[in-house]
Every structure is written in C-alpha cells, then in structure tokens.
Amino acid sequence: MAALFAARSGDDVILVEGTKDGGRKILISGGGRCNILPSRAVPRRYVTDSSPNSLRKILRSWRLDEQIAFFQEELRLRLVREEETGKLFPETNRARDVRDGLVARVLEAGARIWFGTRVTDVRPAHEVDGRWTVSFDTAPDLLASVVVFATGGLSVPATGSDGTGLSIVERLGHEIHPTYPALTPLTASPAPHAALAGISLRVFIRAPGTKPAFETHDGFLFTHRGWSGPAVLDASHLAIRGRSDGSRQPLEIQWADLDADEWDRGLREAKGTVRSSLSAELPRRLADRLCEEARVPGETRLATLRREDRRRLVDLLAHFDLPWTGDEGYKKAEVTGGGVALSDVDPVTMESRRAAGIFLCGEILDAFGPIGGHNFLWAWATGRAAGLGASGRRQSSIA
C-alpha cells in the first residue's frame, strides 16, 4: 500500500522485499483464504501502550468502507462476509488473488520491486544533507530522499518479519515499547488436555481483574500442546504480559452459553446422568474430562448428585481456570505487541517525529487488533497514509 500510493504520485519508488515473492502474511491469512478485512471496525478493541487517541486518528485516515471499495474496485475482488464470524474474504477464497492484485497495482503505478533483497541498515547520508543511505545484503548502497519502514515486527519470522526494522529505527532514536508475541496459542507443560486435541467449540473467555474488563466469545481449539482458536489468541496477550504487579493473569473459560446459575438450575432440575446433561451442551470427550476434573463420575444420576459435587461442576463449567504455563511465541504469533510509540509518528502522514524523511507503518508500530481482519485494516490504513505522506514530503522538498 505504501509503495502503491507513493508511486501513484509520480515518485521514483523501489519496494524492497526480502522474500522471493512478497506478501507472505497475506498468503497464510485465513488458512490461505485471506481474511482481508473485518465487516465492522472496532477501534476500542485495539491494544496499544501509546495514546488511544492517536490510534483512532490513524484508523480514521482510511475508513473501512473506503478500504472495502478499494479492494472491490481496484483489485476487482468481491468481498464476502462470513456469517458466523463477520470476517470478509475474497469470493474466490484465494489469498494469492489479494497478494497478486496488490503486486500488479504497484508495478502498474511505476514502482520497481526488488524481490529477494534485504535491507541491513538505514543511516543519514553524510554526503547529501536530508537524505538517507540504505544498505542491502545483495546490492550496492542506495541514496534515498525518504524511506518507509513496512518491515513488520517479530511474528512468524519465516514470512520475513525478523525484527530488523525495529532494530534500525531504534538506532535512529525511536522509542520502542517492549515487544511481545500477541495472538498466539497458549501452552502448558505437561499439556493436561492433550487427549482432547482437535476438539473445537465456541466459548467465552474472561480475564478477571483487567481494566477495562476483557471478554471474548469465539472459537476455541484444543491442541496437543495446549489451546488455540480465535478466543484464545485474542486473550493471549493478557496472559503473556501478566498483571501490573507481575503476577499471573488468570483466564476464565465459560464452556457454553449457559452461565453458572443456568448450569446449577439445569443440574438440579434435569433428569438422567451428569454425563448426559453435560453432553447436551458440550462435546462428549470434553464433558467426560470436566467430570473427571470435578471428581464426579459421569454416570452419577442427577437425582443423587450431592450439592458440593454440583457446585464443583458448575464452577468448572462456568469459571474454568485455563491452566496455561507458556505460549507458542513469535513462531506462531499472528502479530507483535509493542513496537514504535505512536507518539513518534505524525498520525496523518506517518512521518517520524524523530527523523525527518523516515515513515513508519504496519506492525512495526505499537498497536494490534483482534483476530478477524483488524490487523490488515491497520496495515492498509497506515501503509496508504505513509505512502501519501512520503510522496507529499518529497514533493514539498523539491518545491
């Protein structure tokens, strides 16, 4: 996006891409389908240690409806809403169509793309004031009037986001808020629910004691190493960062739509066994496991279920303390938490306030959104703003 909108202004633009084909995060998004955007923008669900006002200003620079129109009109991609999740996907369900469409538009705009080339450093050019020397691993140094960093953070390093950009901009004097893996699966060692691997369901997850209060209702997946799915990913940053006093942040699971009072009433009034009552709402293997953890035999008749046993069951069904002890880290994190402080960039142009002629966009900045296309919305908006800002600054300098 940055290269496209800069090149459309007539600038001589070189897009430097470390991988052989680019857009690797686009290609893996949505299981290869590319969850290109959310159907509804929710700024309050973004996470940042910077000013929320700055974040909202940046998001407003290119509204969701305008982004949808861009992809439908310029890339000729019809976007389809997935009813269950509200996510928008290209009708073709092919992420490659999104990536290839963007590459084609960039080339049509007159930009050059250097695939398989990595930037190793950016520093002030001594020989020409106000310009930047850009160094590469496989090419001679280049003199640039402006440089846009769209390097990603640290998540899924196999896609090319290995943290080089963060290191360079930190050397240039930018404030980097502590980084951490976000939207990543949680683990436990040993994994107490490995036998349930493959079971998926929709759950509520709450994080007791957080301000503002955190709750999400989405898919949950048992894995051989722990837990994943949108609900877990959206809550993972709270677990990873912990509480402000350094203590462990609990994550509380409600396994079904029934809350504690409804479960309690149902177990008191229903007929049959504990297993049959739980299995009516939950996958059978999960129901059996919860009976085991509550130390209540599944074949126990509800008519004979003791009060203390019922209360233990209800607590596990509505307030289950997820026993996480770790996470899958950056290797499987969908985004990087932390990054360049938003106060270091102009929220309209994305130009650095620390180094004139440097622009920053995307995951390198201290902001990320929940699962569901919100991080692409951030990437598209900040990339466009940086491209327009970079072009505007160069034209102003020439004038």
Q: Could you tell me the maximum CA-CA distance found in the chain, to the nearest angstrom?
A: 87
Computed over every residue of the chain, the mean pLDDT equals: 95
Say what the pLDDT of residue 394 is.
66
33's tokens: 């389908």
36's tokens: 């290109």
pLDDT tens digits for 154-210? 999 989 899 999 999 999 999 999 999 999 999 999 999 999 999 999 999 999 999
* 3-state secondary structure (DSSP) of residue 341: coil
Percent of the chain with pLDDT over 70: 98
What residue has token string 């940055």? 2
Kindly state the average pLDDT of the residues 94-99.
97
pLDDT beyond 90 at 271: yes
Residues in contact with 300: Cβ distance below 8 Å, sequence separation at least 6, in sequence order:
273, 274, 309
The domain limits of the chain are 2-181+335-398, 185-251+322-327, 260-321
Kindly state the average pLDDT of the residues 286-306.
97
pLDDT tens digits for 345-370? 999 999 999 999 999 999 999 999 99
Q: In the CATH hierarchy, which top-level class contains the domain 185-251+322-327?
A: mainly beta
Q: How far apart are CA 177 and CA 336, in angstroms?
A: 11
pLDDT beyond 50 at 399: no
pTM of the model: 0.94
Fold topology of 260-321: Helicase, Ruva Protein; domain 3 (1.10.8)
Superfamily of domain 2-181+335-398: FAD/NAD(P)-binding domain (3.50.50.60)
Nearest to 80 by CA among 110, 119, 121, 39: 39
